């Protein structure tokens, strides 16, 4: 159950985050629960980042490379790439972490850019994961060839992308 104390904590957090004093809390007619309306919507809108596909295609445009080169270097077939492209038109496709890593390598992203792309899909490179540390190593040492990265992973006892 949502308590008044929790609502107050949320109000203070949002005030600090949004620099606003307006806070709209409504009691639902048939319930003792609260619904935080405008401030939550404002918070979401001000903190939301672009989607994975938006970020990916921005990176592809910035690279100047043809899309076909990128998805081939990433070891992705045309059909999967089309699903990713369709996400921009409202259809939801959620790529797997290996796909996002492969695309990061194909785009020759630095570690910060790769982390941003991974985060846009809901992933990260964990410092507690052996395979993620190997991927971090490869990216920071400009080892972008998917076959080389997969060989390093395999020789280290980890699954290939």
The residues near 29 (Cβ < 8 Å, ≥ 6 apart) are none
Rounded CA gap, 113 and 74, in Å?
A: 16
Question: What's the pTM value of the predicted model, to 2 decimals?
Answer: 0.72
- For residue 73, report the phi and psi dihedrals to the nearest 5 degrees: -65, -30
Q: Confidence band (pLDDT; 50, 70, 90) for 29?
A: very low
The residues near 115 (Cβ < 8 Å, ≥ 6 apart) are 124, 125
Structure-token pair, residue 73: 């270097």
Report the pLDDT value the prediction gives residue 51, as an integer from 0 to 100: 83
Higher pLDDT: 131 or 5? It is 131
Percent of the chain at pLDDT exceeding 90: 50
Rounded CA gap, 63 and 108, in Å?
A: 9
Q: Tell me how far apart the 2 most distant CA atoms of the chain are, in Å.
A: 62
Model confidence over 78-130: pLDDT tens digits?
A: 998 988 888 655 567 789 999 999 999 999 999 999 999 999 999 999 988 99
Report the pLDDT value the prediction gives residue 27, as an integer from 0 to 100: 45
Decide if pLDDT at 22 tops 70: no
Structure-token pair, residue 156: 């280290």
Q: Which of 17-26, 27-36, 87-96, 128-137 has the highest mean pLDDT?
A: 128-137
Rounded CA gap, 161 and 159, in Å?
A: 7
CA angle centred on 39, ends 34 and 45, rounded to 5°: 125
Rounded CA gap, 24 and 130, in Å?
A: 46
CB 116 within 8 A of CB 55: yes
């Amino acid at each position: 159950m949502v308590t008044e104390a929790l609502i107050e904590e949320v109000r203070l957090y949002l005030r600090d985050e949004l620099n606003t004093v307006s806070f709209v809390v409504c009691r639902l007619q048939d319930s003792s629960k609260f619904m935080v309306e405008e401030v939550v919507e404002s918070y979401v809108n001000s903190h939301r980042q672009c989607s994975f596909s938006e970020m990916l295609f921005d990176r592809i445009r910035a690279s100047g490379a043809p899309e076909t080169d990128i998805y081939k270097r990433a070891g992705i077939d045309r059909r999967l790439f089309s699903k990713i492209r369709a996400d921009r038109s409202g259809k939801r496709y959620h790529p797997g972490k290996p796909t996002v890593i492969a695309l990061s390598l194909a785009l020759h992203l630095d570690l910060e850019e790769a982390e941003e792309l991974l985060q846009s899909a809901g992933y990260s490179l964990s410092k507690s994961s052996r395979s993620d540390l190997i991927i971090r190593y490869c990216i920071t040492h400009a080892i972008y060839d998917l076959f080389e990265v997969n060989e390093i992973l395999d020789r280290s006892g980890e699954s290939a992308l």
